């Protein structure tokens, strides 16, 4: 690879748009598509989505759990999803939300960010709740291999604020610490850093304290767009002038249009146009 993840993502968003498509083969979706909830159904579903969206979307985001539930054969399907999406020109953000003590995080980082690994992808989601320093192996491995890391900051689910808005002994809120850490990691990176934050497209800024500062020099992954209620207007409301660096992420809202590949692809294009209109 020749350029940082942040540079590749910046170019891909400019060229293909700001929608990330989640490839999440829920059992209920396999059923809606008329497929069995088995490895053959998983493979048919996932590769049909890749064929429909990977040639047009800037980023695809397979959620590992939906593949892992079928064991090693499911993970083999995930490997194909990653490889075939990249071959079609999409960046792959593997949603695994890993995070462990540093020595174990190194093994996770090698699994997803070392190009020699069977599951190598462009970027990965991680959880910071073992401490920001525990993420160093992901950061260093990403820097070494031009990969990216997206750290959970303000998640889309309603339970998130109980932990993420909590104030530490130093008076700093947990999510602010995560965003500050990312700001330091991205310092000086142009046009965009490689260290992103996950900020749901459903969040509301706190009424009893200052707004979270969502400009930190890196990309934002904004899941919760679509099926969880987030809209283009929410992206404008939450991110304002930083919306250009926001990847709105939708899984079920696109996937439920299948197995009609044209309908899925058209939906991606239409949403990209709406997001582009935010400026
Ligand atoms: O990291 C994520 O992708 C993520 C973070 C978050 O705060 N909320 C969230 O929904 N997600 C993931 O985004 C996807 C949302 O799927 P839909 O609700 O079907 O669009 C799922 O794969 C979730 O695991």
**180-198 CB burial, b ≥16 within 10 A, e <16:** ebbbebbeebeebbbbbbb
Secondary structure class of 20 (helix, strand, coil): strand
Can you say whether residue 117 is alpha, beta or left, with left for phi > 0 and alpha for psi between -120 and 50 degrees? Answer: beta
Is 97 in the active site? yes
Bridge partner list, 195: 149
CA of 25 to the centre of ligand 1 (A): 13
Is residue 156 within 6 Å of ligand 1 at its C-beta?
Answer: yes
What ligand 1 atom has the least distance to the C-alpha of 160?
Answer: 7
From the list 26, 80, 86, 97, the catalytic residue is 97
> Is 228 touching ligand 1 by the criterion CB < 6 Å?
yes
Gap between the Cα atoms of 45 and 80, Å rounded: 12
Average per-residue pLDDT for the chain: 97
Q: Which residues of the chain form beta strands (DSSP E)?
A: 19-23, 59-62, 91-98, 123-126, 148-154, 195-199, 220-223, 246-250
Distance 224 CA to ligand 1 centre (A): 6
**What confidence tier does 181 reach under pLDDT thresholds 50, 70, 90?**
very high
Percent of the chain with pLDDT over 70: 99
- Which amino acid residue places its CA nearest to atom 13 of ligand 1? 223
Q: Where does the pLDDT of residue 72 fall: very low under 50, low under 70, confident under 90, or very high at 90 and above?
A: very high
Tokens matching residue 109: 């980082």
Judged by DSSP in three states, 206 sits in: coil
DSSP secondary structure string for all residues of 130-160: T-GGGGHHHHHHHHHHT-EEEEEEE-SSTTT
Give the pLDDT of residue 279. Answer: 85
Tally of CB atoms within 10 A around 2: 6
Residue 1: is its pLDDT beyond 60? no
The two three-digit tokens of residue 90, written as one number: 């999409």
The pTM assigned to this predicted structure is 0.98
Please name the residue whose Cα sits nearest to atom 7 of ligand 1: 155
Kindly state if the Cβ of 24 falls inside 6 Å of ligand 1.
Answer: yes
Q: Which residue has the higher pLDDT, 209 or 218?
A: 218
pLDDT at 208: 87
Residue recorded with tokens 């099926």? 227
Residue 250 beta carbon below 6 angstroms from any ligand 1 atom: yes
Average pLDDT in the 218-243 region?
95
Residue 202 beta carbon below 6 angstroms from any ligand 1 atom: no
Between the CA of 95 and the centroid of ligand 1 the distance, in Å, is: 8
Residue 2 pLDDT level (bands cut at 50, 70, 90): low
Pocket test for ligand 1, best of 21, 156, 178 (most atoms within 8 A of CB): 156
User: How far is Cα 248 from Cα 235, in angstroms, rounded to an integer?
Assistant: 8
Phi first, then psi: give them for residue 12, nearest 5 degrees: -65, -40
Does residue 226 have its Cβ closer than 6 Å to ligand 1?
yes
The predicted pLDDT at position 43 comes to: 98
Cα gap 57→270, rounded to integer Å: 11
Q: How far apart are CA 245 and CA 219, in angstroms?
A: 5
ipTM of this complex prediction, to 2 decimal places: 0.99
- Give residue 229's pLDDT: 96
The answer to whether 63 and 92 are in contact (CB under 8 A) is no
Residue 111 CB: number of other CB atoms within 10 A? 18
User: Going by CATH, does the domain composed of 5-277 fall within 3.20.20.70?
Assistant: yes
Task: Please give the average per-residue pLDDT across 77-100, as a whole number.
Answer: 98
Local structure of 219: helix, strand or coil: coil
CB of 25 sitting under 6 A from ligand 1: no
228 upstream amide cis, omega within 30 of 0:
no
Ligand 1 centroid from CA 220, angstroms: 13
Please tell me if the CB atom of residue 127 comes closer than 6 angstroms to any atom of ligand 1.
no
CA of 6 to the centre of ligand 1 (A): 21
């Amino acid at each position: 690879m020749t350029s940082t993840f942040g540079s590749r993502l910046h170019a891909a968003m400019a060229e293909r748009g700001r929608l990330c498509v989640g490839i999440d083969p829920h059992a209920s979706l396999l059923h809606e598509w008329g497929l069995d909830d088995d490895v053959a159904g998983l493979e048919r579903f996932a590769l049909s989505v890749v064929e429909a969206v990977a040639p047009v979307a800037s980023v695809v985001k397979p959620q590992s759990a939906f593949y892992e539930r079928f064991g090693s054969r499911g993970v083999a399907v995930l490997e194909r999803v990653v490889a075939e999406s990249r071959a079609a020109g999409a960046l792959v953000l593997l949603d695994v939300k890993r995070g462990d003590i540093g020595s174990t995080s190194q093994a996770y980082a090698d699994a997803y960010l070392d190009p020699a690994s069977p599951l190598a992808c462009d970027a990965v989601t991680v959880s910071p709740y073992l401490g920001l320093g525990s993420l160093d192996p992901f950061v260093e491995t990403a820097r070494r291999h031009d990969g990216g890391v997206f750290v959970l900051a303000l998640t889309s689910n309603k339970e998130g604020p109980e932990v993420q808005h909590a104030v530490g002994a130093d008076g700093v809120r947990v999510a602010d610490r995560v965003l500050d850490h990312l700001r330091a990691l991205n310092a000086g990176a142009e046009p965009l850093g490689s260290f992103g934050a996950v900020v749901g497209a459903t969040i509301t800024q706190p009424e009893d304290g200052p707004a979270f500062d969502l400009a930190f020099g890196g990309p934002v992954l904004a899941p919760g767009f679509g099926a969880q209620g987030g809209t283009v207007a929410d992206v404008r409301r939450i991110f304002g002038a930083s919306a250009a660096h926001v990847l709105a992420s939708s899984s079920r809202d696109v996937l439920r249009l299948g197995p009609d590949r044209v309908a899925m692809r058209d939906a991606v294009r239409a949403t990209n146009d709406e997001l582009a209109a935010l400026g």
